Amino acid sequence: MNKSVITIAMPKGRIFGDACRLLRNAGFQLPETFETTRKLILDLDSEPFRFILAKPVDVPTYVEYGAADLGIAGKDVLLESGRDVYEMVDLGISKCHMAVAGLPQHQSRNPFLKIATKYPNIASDFYRRRGEQVDLIALNGSIELAPIVGLADAIVDIVSTGQTLKENGLVEFDRLLDISSRLIVNPVSYRLKKTLIDQIVEKMIKATEGTKVGMD
Ligand SMILES: Nc1ncnc2c1ncn2[C@@H]1O[C@H](COP(=O)(O)OP(=O)(O)OP(=O)(O)O)[C@@H](O)[C@H]1O
Ligand SMILES: O=P(O)(O)OC[C@H]1O[C@H](OP(=O)(O)OP(=O)(O)O)[C@H](O)[C@@H]1O
């Protein structure tokens, strides 16, 4: 039986290590095996907290539906999903940015630019604001491949070190938004468990001090 009072959805993948470090800094007593286990549900012995380990892109879904009270998700995933959750804390981890990129010599003869992306909602919003009509091509990864093989004129994707762009001969044309991971909360959970959630939020804010990216 789940005696846990608070369920937190954690993103597996590249955010996970940073998120665990931050939780430990915030005082959560995560066991050493937390980062290596293949279990997807982990209850703490010391406190009434349950962690569920989800694919990063699915974290806002678990939180919106209330399967988790809290979650950690990238700003990119939050914007793209449009899920109805409260964004409580900029955790300042897994920083990167979203950019338009392509081949340096790119000149399209297409009436509409073809844009490959894992983020069709963010990309379409960006081009709508610019008053440009584009054809979006949804891909699931290796986005940088698309302009090189002629599938698309440009990409909208995440850039961190810039290594992937550089090694594939692409350049950045526009910077769309800065990204970091956020602590999100289910609105109903927040109403029902406000005191406990506020305590967690406070601890997380303290733990993240000095790691903000300075944007929203
Ligand atoms: N190169 C990067 N450097 C830093 N942070 C990144 C980078 N790429 C993505 N991120 C951030 O980390 C989050 C999770 O990325 P991750 O690659 O683990 O998940 P994913 O893209 O869903 O991958 P997968 O499909 O392999 O599970 C992204 O939503 C984004 O906020
Ligand atoms: O600027 P960099 O430090 O090179 O990082 C950027 C790369 O990281 C992400 O890809 P990821 O590693 O998640 O792979 P995938 O999207 O191709 O699965 C992103 O989609 C870029 O391809």
Q: Which two tokens stand for residue 116?
A: 């490959």
Query: Are 45 and 115 within one domain?
Result: no
Query: Are 189 and 86 within one domain?
Result: yes
Sign of CA dihedral 160, 58, 29, 90: positive
In a domain, 155, yes or no: yes
CATH number at residue 145: 3.40.190.10
Provide the pLDDT for residue 46: 86
In a domain, 216, yes or no: no
Q: How far apart are CA 13 and CA 32, in angstroms?
A: 17
CA geometry: angle at 66 spanning 51 and 5, to 5°? 50
**CA 120 to ligand 2 centroid distance, Å:** 16
Query: Are 124 and 143 within one domain?
Result: yes
In a domain, 18, yes or no: yes
Pocket of ligand 1 contains residue 70 by CB under 6 Å: no
Q: How far apart are CA 155 and CA 110, in angstroms?
A: 15
Mutate to test the pocket of ligand 2, among 160, 165, 166 (most ligand atoms within 8 A of CB): 160
Q: How far apart are CA 183 and CA 68, in angstroms?
A: 12
Query: Are 53 and 15 within one domain?
Result: yes
Query: Are 105 and 128 within one domain?
Result: yes
In the chain, how many domains are there? 2
Rg (CA), the chain: 19
Report which protein residue has its CA nearest ligand 2's atom 9: 158
- Residue bearing tokens 């806002």: 60
Tell me the pLDDT of the chain (216 aa) as tens digits. Answer: 456 799 999 999 999 999 999 999 999 999 999 999 999 999 998 889 999 999 999 999 999 999 999 999 999 999 999 999 999 999 999 999 999 999 998 766 666 899 999 999 999 999 999 999 999 999 999 999 999 999 999 999 999 999 999 999 999 999 999 999 999 999 999 999 999 999 999 999 999 995 554 444
In a domain, 67, yes or no: yes
Whether 122 contacts 156, CB under 8 Å? yes
In a domain, 26, yes or no: yes
- Amino acid identity at 56: P
Query: Are 18 and 52 within one domain?
Result: yes
In a domain, 213, yes or no: no
**Structural domain containing residue 38:** 6-94+180-208
Query: Are 167 and 191 within one domain?
Result: no
In a domain, 215, yes or no: no
ipTM of the predicted structure? 0.96
Query: Are 85 and 186 within one domain?
Result: yes
Query: Are 105 and 162 within one domain?
Result: yes
Query: Are 100 and 65 within one domain?
Result: no
Query: Are 84 and 123 within one domain?
Result: no
- Shortest-distance atom of ligand 1 to CA 57: 22
Pocket of ligand 2 contains residue 166 by CB under 6 Å: no
**CA 103 to ligand 1 centroid distance, Å:** 23
Whether 101 contacts 157, CB under 8 Å? yes
Q: What residues have CB less than 8 Å from 189, skipping those under 6 apart?
A: 66, 69, 70, 197
**CA 27 to ligand 1 centroid distance, Å:** 25
Whether 185 contacts 63, CB under 8 Å? yes
Provide the pLDDT for residue 211: 56
The closest of 132, 215, 130 to 177, measured between CA atoms, is: 215
Query: Are 113 and 131 within one domain?
Result: yes
- Shortest-distance atom of ligand 2 to CA 163: 4
| Letter string b/e over residues 151-183, b meaning 16 or more CB atoms within 10 A of that residue's CB | ebbbbbbbbeeeebbeeeebeeeeebeebbbbb
